[in-house]
Chains A and B, each alone.
Chain A
Amino acid sequence: MSALTIDSIGTTRKVPTNRAKGRMSRDKFNIPLTVTLALCTLAVLIPLFVTVNMAFKTGSQAVQGEAFVLPSPLSIEGFVQAWELTNFPVAFGLSAFVSAIAVAGAVLISSMAAYAIHANWERTFFRFAFFYVLAAMFLPFPVLALSQIKLSGLVGLDTPLGVGILHIMFMLGFNVLLLTTFLRGMPQELEEAARIDGASTWQTFWRVIFPVLSPMAATVGIFAFLFSWNDFMMPSMIIADPALQTLPVVNQLFQSQFSSNYHVSFASYLMAMAPAIVAFIFTQRWVLAGVTQGAVKS
């Protein structure tokens, strides 16, 4: 191991940790503890392994429901059938559409609102707006659900677009909190220099504020994607047309049709889970840093 490593919290630290007991030499590792923790990772890995394992079986083998018997022969029959049965491309496209709206909105709208609140913190109106959107963090979705179903039906937003908008608004309070906290740490001279150079507020936001915000905005965007992509409650309640449902809801709607064709159901689950896991693998450093920042600062 090198003297400095990037650990998964996103910070650079010396390898000997603060939990070294007493005067432990630098290259002495606690092997029993390592083994214990490695065994604990099985609790995470087994369900994922079973999902992949079942998905690649043939129909005749999957019916037996043996979770730990390896597929023989390997088959993509389950994927082919799930693809057709659930009309996967459409559901995938709709999920991507909802997530894209949620991510773009969470990043842009929250950043603009946070900047406006930050720049006018002395004004009662802006401070009130801050606490107003923050208060929503205490409103559970079930409390709003039935009224939202009514309202969204009235204005024709009982669609994927409506769910995307609701996702943005649901996350607004937390995101504005994160981003205003982050802006307070920004040197004021940056903004003033832009003003002296004659930049308008609009230009200042795009050329100065947003670039400064970008690390935190990336975190906000990643969490918006994970929340929106995985959400079941809101689309299942809000989207009126079953043909326009997102992937988690589609998987629930087809439960009865999957019956004991486990290769089809697990292939379908895998295709629904994979994008979020892949996104996590590529962005894990921001995800890990973001969780801790968000929690510790709020």
Chain B
Amino acid sequence: MTLMTPPARHTARPHGLRPTPKKRPDPTHFLFLIPTLVAFTLCIALPAVMGIFFSFTNSVGYGDWDFVGLANYQLMFTDPAIMASFWFTLWFSAVTVIVTNVIAFLLAVGLTSQIRARVPMRAIFVIPMVVSPIIIAFVFQFLFAKTLPAAAQAVGFGPLEESILANPDLAWASIVVVTAWQAIPQALLIYIAGLLAIPADLYEASALDGAGAWQQMRMITIPLMASYISINVIIAFKNFLNAYDIIVGLTEGGPGTSTRSVAMTIFSGFETGDYAYQMATATIFFLITLAIALVQLRLTRRKDQ
């Protein structure tokens, strides 16, 4: 049933058919929805409103509190630790979005070509999606700390002979690798779905006109995949901004605080009694997430028209 076309209605309907706006609604439908809405409000909406409210107070999470206006926000914007975690998170997300989507796109093109063992290979590439992020981060932590340096020493490659996890300038790379490793399957599946939707005769016609593989990619595949690319970029960006599990498993925000994400900074408020202060961080974080999502949606819409 769409919005545009109301269903054809019989004049004499037995009682209890799909209600019209004039009829009284079916009480059972309210029963299906109201408890869920109440629970949802208590679990999601109330904490969100509470968090924003307390960001204007000096609450430590319990006991008395006073309004302090925008003091938390002023402090926050001059707090180097919080600003550093914001920049790290934005920058890491941007890099990982690019890495994830480039690899996923290339794999999708490969996995929809004339290759052998296509189905088992697709299944293998999807496995990373189903393993727990923190557990796989522990496995990679071992690989980065023990296996990679040992391999680098064996072939005499200097830069990697020390564990990159202990290097403040390189630790971020390990987080990009593991985050991308885990995020590629979802992007890959969406790209495969998009590539399968491209009519085959476009390729046949362009081949008859003498187009090479590279021209087909530029003139047919990439333009037709634009909307899939933007969906993937939005999903990935939104997920990466919340980076937490994988960082805990790999570096715990270290060395020092060089790989602390915004989520880690906010959670730290629970131990240190900075509840109201970190709620200001969370509010700004929410606004940034929302702004990025809306900007990307706007750009997508324009492309589609």
Contact = CB atoms under 8 A, between A and B. Distances in A.
Scoring A43, A66, A123, A291 by chain B CB atoms within 10 A of each residue's CB, the highest score goes to: A291
A112 B33 CA distance: 7
B283 A143 contact: yes
Contacts of A205: 32
B269 to A, nearest CB: 6
Nearest to B118: A7
A214 to B, nearest CB: 17
B117 A142 contact: no
A269 B130 contact: no
Scoring A50, A147, A200, A288 by chain B CB atoms within 10 A of each residue's CB, the highest score goes to: A147
B289 A50 contact: no
Given A38-B121, A47-B136, A144 B48 contact: yes
Given A140-B241, A147-B51, A116 B132 contact: no
Nearest to A292: B193
Contact of A143 (B39, B54, B195, B282): B282
A34 B40 CA distance: 48
Contact of A30 (B36, B113, B248): B113
B14 interface: yes
Contact of B130 (A38, A165, A226, A237): A226
A184 B32 contact: no
A34 B181 contact: no
B245 interface: yes
B1 interface: yes
Contacts of B275: 146
Scoring A68, A139, A266 by chain B CB atoms within 10 A of each residue's CB, the highest score goes to: A139
A19 B51 CA distance: 51
A78 to B, nearest CB: 14
B44 interface: yes
Contacts of A5: 119
Contacts of B196: 9, 11, 13, 17-18
Nearest to B132: A230
A215 interface: no
A71 to B, nearest CB: 16
B46 A151 contact: yes
A144 to B, nearest CB: 4
- Residues of B contacting A: mostly: helix
B36 A252 contact: no
B61 A146 contact: yes
A36 B110 CA distance: 9
Given A146-B278, A165-B39, A17 B21 contact: no
Given A29-B114, A123-B25, A273-B132, A144 B125 contact: no
Nearest to A280: B130
B116 A120 contact: no
A19 B135 CA distance: 37
Contact of B29 (A116, A280, A291, A296): A116
Contacts of B142: 50, 54, 65, 67, 262, 265-266
Contacts of A259: none
A118 interface: yes
A142 B193 contact: no
Contacts of B266: 142-143, 145-146
B200 interface: yes
Contact of B207 (A21, A233, A266, A280): A21
Contacts of A31: 116
B268 to A, nearest CB: 10
Contacts of A109: 36
Interface in A1-51: 5-9, 11, 13, 16-24, 28-31, 33-34, 36-38, 40-41, 43-45, 47-48, 50-51
Nearest to B53: A147
Contacts of A8: 118-119, 122-123, 126
B262 A29 contact: no
B267 A145 contact: yes
Given A21-B207, A116-B33, A292-B193, A67 B143 contact: yes
Contacts of B139: 47, 50-51, 266, 269
Contacts of A80: none
Contacts of B121: 37-38, 41
Contacts of A143: 48, 51, 266, 282-283, 285-286
A169 B42 CA distance: 10
Given A140-B286, A272-B135, A232 B245 contact: yes
Given A138-B289, A200-B28, A287-B126, A132 B37 contact: yes
B240 to A, nearest CB: 11
A277 B46 contact: no
A265 B42 CA distance: 38
A257 to B, nearest CB: 13
A146 B244 contact: no
Nearest to A262: B142
B109 A112 contact: no
A11 to B, nearest CB: 7
| 8 closest Cβ pairs, A-B complex | A22-B207, A18-B200, A147-B47, A201-B28, A230-B132, A292-B193, A116-B32, A112-B32
7 contacts: A11-B196, A18-B200, A142-B267, A151-B47, A292-B190, A295-B231, A295-B235
Given A8-B122, A18-B195, A192-B17, 19 more contacts: A11-B196, A17-B112, A18-B198, A24-B114, A40-B107, A120-B19, A140-B285, A142-B266, A144-B47, A146-B266, A169-B39, A184-B2, A229-B132, A248-B132, A252-B248, A269-B135, A269-B139, A272-B132, A277-B130
